[in-house]
Structure 1
Amino acid sequence: MRIGLLQCDDVAPELRERHGNYPAMFERLFTSVDPTLTFQVWRCLDGELPDDPGAVDAWLTTGSRFGVNDGLPWIDELCDFIRRLWETDSPLVGICFGHQLIAKALGGEVVKSSRGWGVGMSCNEVTGRADWMDPWQDGLDLVVSHQDQVATPPPNARVLAGSDFCPLYLMQVGECFLGVQGHPEFAKAYSADLMRLRAGLVGAERVDRGLASLDAPVDDRLMVRWILNFMRRCL
């Protein structure tokens, strides 16, 4: 399967030597589950957008330090491309910013959460079950780093997992769109370094709690299996 990665940010220069950039994170994790996957990257943050929704088999959108409501031209153009994917029933999975972008592009609402920053490990209850959730489990625990959240899902959305902190954590929209607020591609070491780098924004107390939460098990490979199952079912 050929996956098109819609890159919406770069790892901070201070962290890139140790952790690599986002495309490498995604490729490393996803190919550890399925070595036959191939990736093609479009740097959407630089205005590089695909011309053809059928250029690859399925699409994946990265997270970003930017917000979907920032009004940047490349974000508006990416929303337009997401609507083209929707119109052509092309498989798309949005991660964090990408999850929020799906909601915004298709008529939902994204807001800056009154609950503040979500960092470290997030623990979520799976409240809906779909055939691509194999192997099944009733919890989904992933690393997060976000201020914005989906407040209102778009039409045709089914919320599948959430928590008190982030009720709309995992959603399927129609048959071929899937969004998750968590970051399966973030290693715990990267999450820890990112929290320390952003301590001035996030706040020392929340960073301390986030760092402590990283002792919990993470469902990164499970989420990748679910994503690949979802993509293949769409295809």
Structure 2
Amino acid sequence: MKLGLLQCDDVRESLQPAHGNYPEMIEKLLRPRVPQLEYRVYRALDGELPLTTDECDGYLTTGSKFGVNDGLPWIDQLQAFMVRLWEAGTPLVGICFGHQLMAKALGGEVHKSPRGWGVGMSFNEVLVRKPWMQPGHDGLDLIVSHQDQVVRLPPQAEILARSDFCPYYLLQYSEHFMSVQGHPEFCKAYSADLMDARRDLLPATRYRAGQASLSAEVDDGVMLDWIVNFLQQAR
């Protein structure tokens, strides 16, 4: 598999010595699952995108501190590229910011949620089990860090997992687009450090609840297996 990572942000410089940057985080987790992985990084946040949709077998987008409605040129360019991938039938998986931009690209809406920040662990119910969702799981509990949420689905979207806090948590579009609001690439230590770095932005009660939630078990390995399975069956 040749996978293109569409990088939409950098990890804070102060956190990179301990945790690395997005490309390293994701490759470290995917390579044991796909030993023959060819991995190419495109710095979408700098305007770098594939020239053609078939440069890679499939693509994965990262999260970002930016919002999909910020009106930045690189975000508009990435959104247009997602439409091209959709029309070409090329597999794409979106994480957090990528999850939201995929929905917007296909006609949905994204706004800041009145529920406020999602930080720490999120606990979600699996509604639909697809063949690629192996190993099977009744829940999907992942680390999150977001304010924006998908608030209106595109017509092509199917909800696979949800919670009261985030009703559109795991989505699939046809057989080649899939996205998740959570961060399977984040470890608990990084989540804790990121909440500390953003402490001035978070309500005190949300910060405390987010830190306390990290005592729960994370389904990061399950979600990473699902991502690999999805990309392999969608090719």
The superposition leaves residues 72-123 of structure 1 with CA deviations (integer Å, 9 ceiling, x where unpaired) of 0000000000000001000000000000010000100101000000000101
Alpha-carbon offset, residue 36 of structure 1: 2.2
Runs of 4 or more consecutive aligned structure 1 residues displaced over 6 Å after TM superposition: none
Task: Say how many residue pairs are matched.
Answer: 235
**How far off its partner does 1:165 sit?**
0.3
Give the structure 2 partner of residue 132 of structure 1. Answer: 132
Q: In the TM superposition, what is the alpha-carbon distance from 1:2 to its structure 2 partner?
A: 1.0
Is 2:31–2:37's contact at 8 Å kept on the other side of the alignment? yes
Please name the residue that 2:85 is paired with: 85
| Corresponding residue SS for 2:119 | strand
Question: Could you list the runs of 5+ residues in structure 1 that have no partner in the other structure?
Answer: none
- Please tell me whether residue 62 in structure 1 is matched to residue 62 in structure 2: yes
CA contact (8 A) 2:6 2:42 kept: yes
1:178 aligns with 2:178: yes
Q: 1:129 deviation in Å?
A: 1.4
Q: Deviations over 1:174-220 (max 9, x none)?
A: 11000100000001100000000001112222111111101111111
The 5 A counterparts of 1:39-58 are 39-58=39-58
The answer to whether the 8 Å contact 2:62/2:98 transfers is yes
Question: Could you tell me which residue of structure 2 aligns to residue 29 of structure 1?
Answer: 29
Q: Quick one: distance in 1 between partners of 2:180 and 2:146?
A: 12
1:123 matched to 2:128: no
Secondary structure in 2 matching 1:33: coil
What is the alpha-carbon distance in structure 1 between the residues aligned to residue 46 and residue 200 of structure 2? 27
Map of 1:205 onto structure 2: 205
- Give the TM-score normalised by the residue count of structure 1: 0.98
1:119-157 deviations in Å (ceiling 9; x for gaps): 001010001111111111110000000000011111211
Task: Say yes or no: does 1:161 pair with 2:144.
Answer: no
More divergent stretch after superposition (120-129 vs 29-38): 29-38
Give the Cα separation in 2 of the matches to 1:54 and 1:201: 40
Judge conservation of contact 1:100–1:150 (CA < 8 Å) in 2. Answer: yes
**Aligned counterparts of 1:55 and 1:153: Cα–Cα separation in 2:** 29
Deviation at 1:221, TM superposition (A): 1.0
Give the Cα–Cα distance (whole angstroms) in 1 for the partners of residues 176 and 225 of structure 2: 16
Mapped to 2, the partners of 1:181 and 1:143 lie a distance apart of: 9
Cα distance in 2 for partners of 1:202, 1:78 equals 29
* Seq. identity, %: 62
Does structure 1 conserve the Cα–Cα contact (< 8 Å) formed by 2:119 and 2:143? yes
Unaligned runs of 5+ in 2: none
Q: CA deviation at 1:32?
A: 2.9
Q: CA RMSD in A?
A: 0.8
Corresponding residue for 1:226?
226
Asked if structure 2 preserves the Cα contact closer than 8 Å seen for 1:33 and 1:221, the reply is: no
CA contact (8 A) 2:33 2:228 kept: no
Residues 95-110 of structure 1 aligned to structure 2 (within 5 Å): 95-110=95-110
